[in-house]
Structure 1
Amino acid sequence: MTGRLVADPASHCPDQAARTVVAAAFAAISSRYVLARHQIAAAILDGNGGIHLGLHVDAMVGRAAVCAEAGALSAARLATSAPLIAVAAVRYPKPTETAQARIVPPCGLCRELLLDHAPALRAVVHDGPEARLAPMADLLPHKYVGTKWPTAPTRS
C-alpha cells in the first residue's frame, strides 16, 4: 500500500459490469502495488457474478513476468466453469508520476490467451473520456487459430 490518494477509475464506467471489474482491479492494485514488481491488477467477472483477481508479477528477465490478466484467468478457471463475461486491468501510477490510476487494455499475448479460453469475453477499454466494454475479438481481429485443439473448448 502506498499511502497516497489515487482516484478509482471505475467512475469513468457507465456500464455496471465494467464498473464492477474496474473497481475490483483498482482495489487489488491499490493494496498490492510495489514499484517495479506489481503495477497492474486485473479482474474477471464470471456469469455467476464471481470476481477473480490477478496481479502483474514482474521479473528480472522480462519474459518470466506474468500479466495480471493471465493470473485472473487462472484464478477464474480454478474457481468456476461459468462463462467469463468481462475483464479489466488497472495500472497504478509510479510515485514519480502525477497521473492517476488508469484502465489499460490487455497486451497482445493476453488477448490471444483470453480469447482461447473465453471467446465471448468483453474487455474494458477507454473510448474518449469514458470506458466501455468491447468484445475481446474486436481487440484482436486476426486471432491466431492453430490445430492444438480440434474444437473450441466447451467452457468459455
Structure 2
Amino acid sequence: MTGRVPDPAGRCVDATAARLVAAAFAAIRDVYVPERHQIAAAVLTGDDRVHLGVHLDAMVGRAAACAESGALSAARLATSAPPVAIAAVRYPKPTEPALARIVPPCGLCRELLIDHGGPDLQVVVDADGQGRLVAASGLLVHKYVGTKWTRTTP
C-alpha cells in the first residue's frame, strides 16, 4: 500500500503545516504496521527542528502510547527550545481507502501539549479537507490547571 497513498501535506494551506504533515506522513509510511503503528506525529520546536514520534499500540489499550507524546518526548530529549507546532497523520489500513488523514490530538495529548507547549502551541487540524494551524487552546477550551507545578510559560 505504501506506494499509492498520497501525502496529505498537499492539502495544507500553510507552509509550516505542510512541513509537519509531510514529516509525519513520511515517518508513518516508513514504519506502518497494521494494529501496531498507525499514527506518526511531528513537533516543530522554536529552534526550527522537527522531532518525530510514532503511535505504539498495545494489547491493553491504556498501555498504548500516542504519537504526539512520543514526538514531544523526542523534542525534549533533543533541545530545550519550546515546542511551537505539531501535526499527526494516520496511515490507512489495507482494508480502507488509500488516504492518509491529518488527525487531531486526543484529549490526553491536548492536555499534555498545552502543559509543555502552552495554549498558543499550534496544532494542524483538518478543516474542510485542508490542513490548517489552530491554537491548542481552541481545541481544549476548558483546560485543567492543577497545582502540581509552579505555572511558568513553557
Q: Name the TM tier (shorter chain).
A: over 0.9
Tell me the CA shift for residue 49 of structure 1: 1.1
Give the secondary structure class of the aligned counterpart of 2:80: coil
C-alpha deviation, 1:130, in angstroms: 1.4
Deviation at 1:99, TM superposition (A): 4.2
Q: Name stretches of at least 5 consecutive residues in structure 2 with no aligned partner.
A: none
Which amino acid in 2 is paired with 1:85? V
Letter of the 2:4 partner, please give it.
L
Matched, 1:58 2:38: no
Superposed counterparts of 1:1-156, under 5 Å: 2-119=1-118, 120-152=120-152, 154=153, 156=154
Q: CA deviation digits over 1:10-45, x for unaligned, max 9? A: 001121110110000000000000000000000001
In structure 2, distance between residues paired with 1:75 and 1:96 = 31
Helix, strand or coil at the partner of 2:37:
coil
CA distance in structure 2 between the aligned counterparts of 1:98 and 1:31, rounded to whole angstroms: 18
Residues matched between the structures, number: 153
Structure 2 CA distance for aligned equivalents of residues 3 and 129 of structure 1: 21
**Structure 2 CA distance for aligned equivalents of residues 151 and 47 of structure 1:** 20
**Normalising to structure 1: TM-score of the pair?**
0.95
Q: Please give the per-residue CA displacement for 1:119-156, whole angstroms capped at 9, x wherever unaligned.
A: 0211000111211100001000000010101222x5x3
Q: Aligned partners of 2:83, 2:92: CA distance in 1, in Å?
A: 28
Matched residue of 2:4: which SS? coil
Measure, in 1, the Cα distance between the counterparts of 2:44 and 2:20.
6
RMSD: 1.0
**Alpha-carbon distance between aligned partners in 2 of 1:140 and 1:99, rounded to the nearest angstrom:** 30
Provide structure 1 residue ranges, at least 5 long, that are not aligned to the other structure.
Answer: none
Percent identity between matched residues is: 64
Structure 1 CA distance, aligned partners of 2:23 and 2:82? 18
Quote the Cα distance in structure 1 between the aligned partners of 2:135 and 2:146.
Answer: 21
- Give 1:69's aligned amino acid: E
- Name the SS for the 2:85 alignment partner: strand
